[in-house]
Structure 1
Protein backbone atom coordinates (compact mmCIF):
# COMPACT_ATOMS: atom_id res chain seq x y z
CA UNK A 1 0.00 0.00 0.00
CA UNK A 2 1.14 3.51 -0.79
CA UNK A 3 -0.17 5.68 2.04
CA UNK A 4 -0.54 8.79 -0.13
CA UNK A 5 -2.57 6.94 -2.81
CA UNK A 6 -6.34 7.44 -2.53
CA UNK A 7 -7.06 4.13 -4.30
CA UNK A 8 -4.72 2.22 -1.95
CA UNK A 9 -6.53 3.84 0.96
CA UNK A 10 -9.91 2.79 -0.44
CA UNK A 11 -8.73 -0.80 -1.00
CA UNK A 12 -7.37 -0.91 2.57
CA UNK A 13 -10.67 0.37 3.99
CA UNK A 14 -9.06 3.61 5.18
CA UNK A 15 -11.12 5.84 2.87
CA UNK A 16 -14.78 5.52 1.99
CA UNK A 17 -16.12 4.63 -1.42
CA UNK A 18 -19.35 3.44 -2.98
CA UNK A 19 -18.34 -0.15 -3.72
CA UNK A 20 -20.17 -1.77 -6.64
CA UNK A 21 -18.41 -5.15 -6.73
CA UNK A 22 -15.44 -6.87 -5.12
CA UNK A 23 -13.19 -9.69 -6.20
CA UNK A 24 -10.29 -11.15 -4.18
CA UNK A 25 -7.80 -8.78 -5.81
CA UNK A 26 -9.85 -6.04 -7.51
CA UNK A 27 -12.54 -3.60 -6.43
CA UNK A 28 -15.11 -1.66 -8.46
CA UNK A 29 -16.37 1.68 -7.14
CA UNK A 30 -18.49 4.59 -8.30
CA UNK A 31 -16.37 7.69 -9.00
CA UNK A 32 -17.12 10.94 -7.18
CA UNK A 33 -17.85 12.71 -10.46
CA UNK A 34 -19.25 10.15 -12.95
CA UNK A 35 -19.30 11.17 -16.61
CA UNK A 36 -22.43 9.09 -17.29
CA UNK A 37 -24.92 7.31 -15.04
CA UNK A 38 -23.43 3.94 -14.09
CA UNK A 39 -19.77 5.01 -14.61
CA UNK A 40 -17.55 2.66 -12.56
CA UNK A 41 -13.83 2.59 -11.70
CA UNK A 42 -12.16 -0.84 -11.55
CA UNK A 43 -9.08 -0.81 -9.33
CA UNK A 44 -6.57 -3.57 -8.45
CA UNK A 45 -5.63 -4.07 -4.82
CA UNK A 46 -1.97 -4.13 -5.85
CA UNK A 47 -0.50 -0.67 -6.30
CA UNK A 48 0.83 -0.35 -9.82
CA UNK A 49 1.17 3.11 -11.29
CA UNK A 50 -0.45 2.42 -14.65
CA UNK A 51 -1.35 -0.17 -17.28
CA UNK A 52 2.28 -0.45 -18.43
CA UNK A 53 3.80 -1.38 -15.08
CA UNK A 54 2.58 -4.95 -14.52
CA UNK A 55 0.96 -6.88 -17.36
CA UNK A 56 -0.55 -9.52 -15.07
CA UNK A 57 -2.23 -7.00 -12.75
CA UNK A 58 -3.41 -5.03 -15.77
CA UNK A 59 -4.87 -8.14 -17.40
CA UNK A 60 -6.64 -9.22 -14.22
CA UNK A 61 -8.11 -5.74 -13.76
CA UNK A 62 -9.28 -5.74 -17.38
CA UNK A 63 -10.93 -9.14 -16.88
CA UNK A 64 -12.96 -7.70 -14.00
CA UNK A 65 -13.85 -4.61 -16.05
CA UNK A 66 -14.94 -6.92 -18.87
CA UNK A 67 -17.34 -8.71 -16.50
CA UNK A 68 -18.97 -5.38 -15.69
CA UNK A 69 -19.01 -4.24 -19.32
CA UNK A 70 -20.68 -7.53 -20.36
CA UNK A 71 -23.71 -6.48 -18.33
CA UNK A 72 -24.17 -3.32 -20.42
CA UNK A 73 -25.57 -2.94 -23.93
CA UNK A 74 -22.85 -0.39 -24.81
CA UNK A 75 -19.80 0.91 -22.94
CA UNK A 76 -16.31 2.33 -23.19
CA UNK A 77 -13.60 0.63 -21.12
CA UNK A 78 -10.77 3.13 -20.78
CA UNK A 79 -7.50 3.53 -18.90
CA UNK A 80 -4.79 6.15 -19.19
CA UNK A 81 -1.00 5.94 -18.79
CA UNK A 82 0.68 9.15 -17.73
CA UNK A 83 -0.45 12.72 -17.24
CA UNK A 84 -0.17 13.51 -20.97
CA UNK A 85 -2.83 10.83 -21.47
CA UNK A 86 -5.06 12.41 -18.77
CA UNK A 87 -4.11 10.04 -15.91
CA UNK A 88 -4.71 11.95 -12.67
CA UNK A 89 -4.24 9.19 -10.06
CA UNK A 90 -1.01 7.17 -10.30
CA UNK A 91 -2.69 3.85 -9.46
CA UNK A 92 -3.99 1.67 -12.29
CA UNK A 93 -7.73 2.06 -12.77
CA UNK A 94 -10.11 1.33 -15.61
CA UNK A 95 -13.23 3.32 -16.33
CA UNK A 96 -16.31 1.37 -17.39
CA UNK A 97 -18.49 4.05 -18.94
CA UNK A 98 -22.01 3.06 -20.01
CA UNK A 99 -23.03 4.65 -23.30
CA UNK A 100 -26.33 5.36 -25.00
CA UNK A 101 -27.01 6.55 -28.52
CA UNK A 102 -26.86 10.33 -28.65
CA UNK A 103 -25.35 10.80 -25.17
CA UNK A 104 -22.82 13.21 -26.74
CA UNK A 105 -20.07 12.26 -24.32
CA UNK A 106 -16.96 13.55 -26.10
CA UNK A 107 -13.88 11.38 -26.13
CA UNK A 108 -10.53 12.56 -27.54
CA UNK A 109 -10.98 10.66 -30.79
CA UNK A 110 -14.65 11.51 -31.43
CA UNK A 111 -16.02 14.16 -33.79
CA UNK A 112 -17.72 15.95 -30.84
CA UNK A 113 -14.35 16.49 -29.16
CA UNK A 114 -12.81 17.94 -32.32
CA UNK A 115 -15.81 20.25 -32.82
CA UNK A 116 -15.58 21.43 -29.19
CA UNK A 117 -11.85 22.28 -29.51
Structure 2
Protein backbone atom coordinates (compact mmCIF):
# COMPACT_ATOMS: atom_id res chain seq x y z
CA UNK A 1 0.00 0.00 0.00
CA UNK A 2 1.50 3.30 -1.02
CA UNK A 3 -0.17 5.42 1.67
CA UNK A 4 0.19 3.03 4.64
CA UNK A 5 2.36 4.40 7.44
CA UNK A 6 3.50 0.95 8.58
CA UNK A 7 4.24 -0.22 5.03
CA UNK A 8 6.49 2.84 4.72
CA UNK A 9 8.25 1.85 7.96
CA UNK A 10 8.75 -1.68 6.59
CA UNK A 11 10.18 -0.17 3.39
CA UNK A 12 12.50 2.02 5.57
CA UNK A 13 10.99 5.15 4.01
CA UNK A 14 10.00 6.42 7.47
CA UNK A 15 12.37 5.97 10.43
CA UNK A 16 11.38 3.94 13.47
CA UNK A 17 13.13 2.62 16.56
CA UNK A 18 13.28 -0.98 15.33
CA UNK A 19 13.92 -3.50 18.10
CA UNK A 20 13.33 -6.83 16.33
CA UNK A 21 13.06 -8.00 12.73
CA UNK A 22 12.48 -11.31 10.99
CA UNK A 23 11.82 -12.17 7.37
CA UNK A 24 8.09 -11.68 7.96
CA UNK A 25 7.75 -9.33 10.95
CA UNK A 26 9.02 -6.01 12.23
CA UNK A 27 8.85 -4.63 15.77
CA UNK A 28 9.41 -1.02 16.75
CA UNK A 29 8.83 1.20 19.77
CA UNK A 30 5.52 3.07 19.93
CA UNK A 31 5.99 6.84 19.66
CA UNK A 32 3.34 7.36 22.38
CA UNK A 33 4.15 4.60 24.91
CA UNK A 34 1.50 3.53 27.39
CA UNK A 35 3.91 1.36 29.42
CA UNK A 36 7.70 1.13 29.92
CA UNK A 37 7.70 -1.53 27.19
CA UNK A 38 5.34 -0.55 24.38
CA UNK A 39 6.36 -2.06 21.08
CA UNK A 40 4.31 -2.46 17.92
CA UNK A 41 4.80 -5.79 16.19
CA UNK A 42 3.62 -5.92 12.58
CA UNK A 43 3.69 -8.32 9.69
CA UNK A 44 5.73 -6.95 6.81
CA UNK A 45 2.93 -8.01 4.49
CA UNK A 46 -0.02 -5.62 4.58
CA UNK A 47 -3.24 -6.83 6.20
CA UNK A 48 -5.67 -4.17 7.42
CA UNK A 49 -6.71 -5.86 10.66
CA UNK A 50 -6.56 -9.01 12.79
CA UNK A 51 -9.37 -10.68 10.86
CA UNK A 52 -7.57 -10.22 7.53
CA UNK A 53 -4.38 -11.55 9.12
CA UNK A 54 -6.23 -14.65 10.32
CA UNK A 55 -7.81 -15.12 6.88
CA UNK A 56 -4.34 -15.17 5.28
CA UNK A 57 -4.00 -18.64 6.90
CA UNK A 58 -0.30 -18.96 6.22
CA UNK A 59 1.19 -18.94 9.71
CA UNK A 60 1.75 -15.20 9.73
CA UNK A 61 -0.33 -14.69 12.89
CA UNK A 62 1.88 -17.31 14.58
CA UNK A 63 4.98 -15.46 13.46
CA UNK A 64 3.54 -12.20 14.81
CA UNK A 65 2.98 -13.72 18.27
CA UNK A 66 6.39 -15.40 18.27
CA UNK A 67 8.00 -12.05 17.42
CA UNK A 68 6.04 -10.37 20.25
CA UNK A 69 7.33 -12.96 22.70
CA UNK A 70 10.90 -12.52 21.44
CA UNK A 71 10.63 -8.78 22.11
CA UNK A 72 9.19 -9.47 25.58
CA UNK A 73 12.19 -11.67 26.34
CA UNK A 74 14.59 -9.09 24.91
CA UNK A 75 13.01 -6.27 26.98
CA UNK A 76 12.98 -8.38 30.15
CA UNK A 77 9.20 -8.50 30.62
CA UNK A 78 8.54 -12.12 29.62
CA UNK A 79 9.11 -13.44 33.16
CA UNK A 80 6.91 -10.89 34.93
CA UNK A 81 4.20 -10.81 32.28
CA UNK A 82 3.14 -8.78 29.31
CA UNK A 83 0.03 -8.01 27.30
CA UNK A 84 -0.49 -8.35 23.55
CA UNK A 85 -3.36 -6.25 22.18
CA UNK A 86 -4.77 -6.29 18.65
CA UNK A 87 -7.28 -3.50 18.03
CA UNK A 88 -9.55 -4.26 15.08
CA UNK A 89 -11.60 -1.42 13.63
CA UNK A 90 -12.10 2.20 14.61
CA UNK A 91 -14.53 1.32 17.42
CA UNK A 92 -11.74 -0.62 19.11
CA UNK A 93 -9.25 2.22 18.75
CA UNK A 94 -7.43 1.10 15.60
CA UNK A 95 -6.03 4.21 13.91
CA UNK A 96 -3.48 2.68 11.53
CA UNK A 97 -5.11 0.10 9.28
CA UNK A 98 -2.15 -2.24 9.00
CA UNK A 99 -2.59 -4.95 11.61
CA UNK A 100 -0.32 -4.42 14.59
CA UNK A 101 0.06 -6.01 17.98
CA UNK A 102 0.77 -3.74 20.91
CA UNK A 103 3.23 -5.45 23.25
CA UNK A 104 2.88 -3.83 26.69
CA UNK A 105 4.83 -4.60 29.84
CA UNK A 106 7.08 -3.30 32.55
CA UNK A 107 4.33 -2.10 34.91
CA UNK A 108 1.17 -3.59 36.44
CA UNK A 109 -1.45 -3.91 33.73
CA UNK A 110 -4.72 -4.09 35.60
CA UNK A 111 -7.92 -4.94 33.81
CA UNK A 112 -10.05 -3.16 32.88
CA UNK A 113 -7.69 -0.36 31.89
CA UNK A 114 -8.28 3.19 33.05
TM-score range, shorter chain: 0.7 to 0.9
Segments of 5+ residues of structure 1 without an aligned counterpart are none
Q: Say if 2:19 is the partner of 1:20.
A: yes
TM-score computed with the length of structure 1 as normaliser:
0.81
Determine which structure has greater relative contact order: mean sequence separation of CA pairs < 8 Å that are 6+ residues apart, divided by chain length: 2
Indicate the structure (1 or 2) with the bigger Cα radius of gyration. 1
Q: Partner of 1:66 in structure 2?
A: 69
SS at match of 1:54: helix
Contact 1:69–1:77 (8 Å) recurs in 2: no
Equivalenced residue count is: 106
TM-score computed with the length of structure 2 as normaliser:
0.83
Segments of 5+ residues of structure 2 without an aligned counterpart are none
The runs of at least 4 aligned residues of structure 1 exceeding 4 Å deviation read: none
Q: Partner of 1:10 in structure 2?
A: 9
State the alpha-carbon separation in 2 of the partners of residues 54 and 38 from structure 1: 24
Let me know the Cα RMSD of the aligned residues: 1.7
The alpha carbon displacement at 1:60 in A equals 1.8
State the alpha-carbon separation in 2 of the partners of residues 8 and 16 from structure 1: 12
Q: Partner of 1:82 in structure 2?
A: 89
State the alpha-carbon separation in 2 of the partners of residues 65 and 35 from structure 1: 16
SS at match of 1:52: helix
Contact 1:58–1:92 (8 Å) recurs in 2: no
